[in-house]
Amino acid sequence: MAKKNRFLFIDLSRSKTWEEEPDGVFCRKFLGGRGWALPYLLKNQKPKTDPLSPENILVVATSVISGARGPAMPRVIVCAKSPLTGAFGESEAGGYWAPELNKAGFSAVFVLGKAPEPVYVWIKDGSVEIKKASHLWGKETGETQALIRNELDDNRARVLQIGPAGENGVLYANIVNELAHFNGRNGLGAVMGSKHLKALVVRGTKEVPVSKPERVKEINAWTATEGLKKPAGELLRRHGTLPLVRAFQEMGVLPTRNWTRSIFWGGEKISAENLHETIYIESKGCFACPIRCKRRAEVNTDKYQVDPRFGGPEFETVGALGSILEIADPYLLAKANELCNRYALDTISLGMTVGWLMEAVERGLVTPEECDGLDVRFGNGDVLIPLIKKIVNRQGIGEKMAMGSKRLAREMGLEEEEFLMEVKGQEVPLHDPRAKTGVGLGYALADYGADHLVGPHDTVFASADGPGIKEASGLGIFQAVDPLSLGPEKVRLFYYMDLYWRLIDMLGFCTFGFVPRGPIPLEMMVDLVRAITGWPVSLWELLKAGERTIHLARIFNMREGLSVKDDRLPARFFKDFEEGALRGKGGINKEQFEKAREMRYGMMGWDPETGRPLPERLYELDLGEFVDEL
Amino acid sequence: MSGHSVRIKIRDWRGTEERMPPEMEMPSGTGLGDFLETLPLAGGPGYYTILLNGRPAERKITLQDGDEITILPLSVGG
């Protein structure tokens, strides 16, 4: 017997809750995550809705397979219109919350309206209660979780919450579960805060029924043994994502000093090896996952104390707050990371926003007085913690910085300057698209703004004996593709990967678990879906489900007024590197990029000039009911 | 080996327990790809970023005495 998917609706304005059971065809056709969110948003939310208004619907979803004890499938997917980008917003997080929601009897929560006063929602084994949270409002995530568990008298209650950043409407506020697993990017924490919703707390004691439990067990056992022997599995388990610091530094592609340089003088100090010697104490994992890639940091010096409950900085944080700002103090990075996690604040957008300000000050375009007298310049770590606090509390310069780098630049009259590093208003992550052009296409075309997890990275497919070709050729890529090319072969590769990555995200899978990024093979992934749901699915059918959501998100974004001009890259990526192994390659060729974008539209079945999905493509995908939304 | 060999330096940043020797001798005329095949790289060379003297290089290139090979994890995001 497989599980039944039930959706929980919470109308905070009317303090009402109800349940709906979606039909099986809908569940199989859209699978979960963004697949469940997008049809609902398109049908029930008016275009141009203010993302911080009660009318913006927040969807906290899992999938048709969530809750089963399979490997690398712990993720909770949050969707809403993003206040940072004005586009469809989406973010996934690992941890334990998604399985717990399913054990409590639900597969997704749709949050409507706005509570008159702060509340949290307590979901336990099918019962739902809206509880007052005024006493929790303003508190950091650690204290909030402890207070909620205490008042519920349940230490195993799973708390998905916002921190002060979300309450105060910081446009890059996160949502967090278990204090260290973040729905980052897109500012969805601010959406939750705008609804006066402090937390969704779940506890479930019922096992999630699975069609073929023995097969799920076998796949779990394989992952914990054979899977961990594979290079990707072993590396993630031993070092998490941190080895990227040295890899990028050695190649001269480590984003440094707001992307003006690509080799950081302090690179050694923020390397995986040094961070393990100085701040990391252990690794932790997510529900039923043997890889355990998450780092935990602890610091006890005279200057800084860091609590390991809040995890530890991953690569993106080390880059955004380290090399981008030229800060090489591991203890400060650990403390800044902990503070961001206490406040539930996105570290990538934070780093890029501070980096933009540092460059603006150093160029003489912004005065120290405009920075509240702080000595905001690259390498001065003393300003980092004061700036974080100003942003979260929206004080002084922090009021403007809380809106992200694009709005900050606009407020300062500097939006046209070339050193603004964002796409669709979202700050770019720490992977230089001049070294991986497919990542650049992903930054430009992702419906939710620049993001490094929108697809795999080019290097996986760089050689015929690499994991992309050897282990994922079942996706239809048979030959190596040069990481620097922007020809049809690259466009095709990333078109296929977009379908696959959307599928991974929709199902609540972790990209670190599955080929080509992780160890679990394609056929085992399909088998896992079959074993859990009992449906005789094929890879083709699953990829089609992923494809549907790309078109639905495109329709959503076009309704919001986004267009081809938003599928772009920051100007700095069209210039050559100043140093490193790729200096002299000239950066991304703008003409090639624009041709690649047009070709991608064509492959998608979108109008090459307007980027608008063509009706026949929507009919092919069984999305005819959305043609009129165009 | 003597006159008909080249010394290759290895910088191993894979982060695994097993470490490569810092230097190896190979017959003169050995190509980068052939050299990499002799190394105990789990999964094979394609699972790593390989730099020759600090830059990406084609596997067919012939190694020279004193060349330095850097072995890094694939820069695959995360």
Asked whether the beta carbons of A494 and A446 are under 8 A apart, the reply is no
Residue B21, domain member (yes or no): yes
pLDDT number for residue A290: 85
Reported as a single tens digit per residue, the pLDDT across A107-145 is 999 999 999 999 999 999 999 999 999 999 999 999 999
Q: What is the mean pLDDT of residues A72-93?
A: 97
Residues 6+ apart with CB under 8 A from A93: A75, A76, A78, A175, A176, A177, A181, A182, A183, A184
Taken in order A181, A183, A187, A189, the sign of the CA dihedral is: negative
- Mean pLDDT across the stretch A13-28? 97
Task: Tell which A residues from 492 to 521 touch B, by Cβ distance under 8 Å.
Answer: 511-512, 517
Residues of B with CB under 8 A from a CB of A: 13-16, 42-49, 51, 54-56, 59, 70, 72-78
Kindly state whether residue B78 falls inside one of the protein's structural domains: no
**A100 vs A416 pLDDT, higher one:** A100
Mean pLDDT of A77-91: 98
| CATH number of the domain encompassing residue B67 | 3.10.20.30
- pLDDT tens figures, A160-184: 999 999 999 999 999 999 999 999 9
Q: Under DSSP, is residue B45 helix (H, G, I), strand (E, B) or coil?
A: helix
Whether B35 is in a domain gets the answer yes
- A517/B76 CB distance under 8 A: yes
What are A510's strand-pairing partners?
none
Would the CB atoms of A463 and B15 count as touching at under 8 Å?
no
Q: Does A138 touch chain B (CB under 8 A)?
A: no
Mean pLDDT of chain A: 96
For residue A586, pLDDT beyond 90:
yes
CA distance A143 to A145: 6
Say whether A581 and B54 touch across the interface (CB within 8 A).
Answer: yes
Residue A325 reports pLDDT greater than 60: yes
Q: Do A230 and B43 touch (CB under 8 A)?
A: yes
Q: How far, in whole angstroms, is CA A388 from its chain's centroid?
A: 21
Residue of B15, B45, B47 lying closest to A272 (CB–CB): B15
Q: How many domains would you assign to chain B?
A: 1
Note the pLDDT of residue B1. 46
Does residue A544 register a pLDDT over 80?
yes
Task: Print the domain residue range for B26.
Answer: 5-73
Interface contact A457-B77, CB threshold 8 A:
yes
Note whether A467 contacts B51, CB cutoff 8 Å: no
Q: State pLDDT tens for residues A564-582.
A: 999 999 999 999 999 999 9
Q: Which of A370-374, A468-472, A594-598, B63-67 has the lowest mean pLDDT?
A: A468-472
CATH of A241-420, one of 1.10.357.10, 1.10.569.10, 3.90.45.10, 3.10.620.30: 1.10.569.10
Is residue A516 reached through a cis peptide bond, with omega within 30 degrees of 0 on the bond before it?
yes
**Ramachandran class of A153: left when φ > 0, alpha when ψ lies in -120 to 50, beta otherwise:** left
Tell whether the model's pLDDT for residue A3 goes beyond 50.
yes
- pLDDT tens track for B11-34: 998 877 788 999 999 999 999 999
CATH value of A437-629 in 3.40.50.170, 2.102.10.10, 1.10.599.10, 3.40.50.300: 1.10.599.10
Structure token digits, residue A463:
């050689």
ipTM: 0.89
With a pLDDT cut of 90, the percent of chain A lying above it is 93
How many CB contacts within 8 angstroms connect chain A with chain B? 104
In a domain, B48, yes or no: yes
Q: Which residues sit opposite A305 in a β-bridge?
A: A300
Residue A197 pLDDT exceeds 50: yes
Q: What residues have CB less than 8 Å from A529, skipping those under 6 apart?
A: A64, A65, A507, A535, A537, A542
pLDDT at B3 (0 to 100): 60
pLDDT of A366 over the 60 cut: yes
User: Alpha-carbon torsion A582, A362, A439, A568, what sign?
Assistant: negative
CA distance to A37, A62, B9, per residue, from A542 (Å): 17, 16, 47
**pLDDT tens string B37-51:** 999 998 899 999 999
CB contact (8 A) between residue B16 and residue A435: no
Identify the pLDDT of residue B77.
66
Return the pLDDT at B73: 86
| Residues of A (147-186) whose Cβ lies below 8 Å from B | none
Query: Percent of chain A at pLDDT above 70?
Result: 100
CA distances, A565 to each of A351, A562, A589, B68 (Å)? 25, 8, 17, 45
Tell how far CA A571 is from the center of its chain: 24
**Distance to chain B for A412, nearest Cα, Å:** 33
Q: Which residue of A has its CA nearest to B17?
A: A238
Chain A residues close to B55, C-beta within 8 Å: 581
**For chain A, which residues make up each domain, given as ranges?**
7-203, 241-420, 437-629
Residue A247 contacts B, CB cutoff 8 Å: yes
Q: What is the CATH number of domain A7-203?
A: 3.60.9.10
To test the contact with chain B by mutation, choose from A459, A471, A494, A577 the residue with the greatest count of B C-beta atoms within 10 A, namely A459
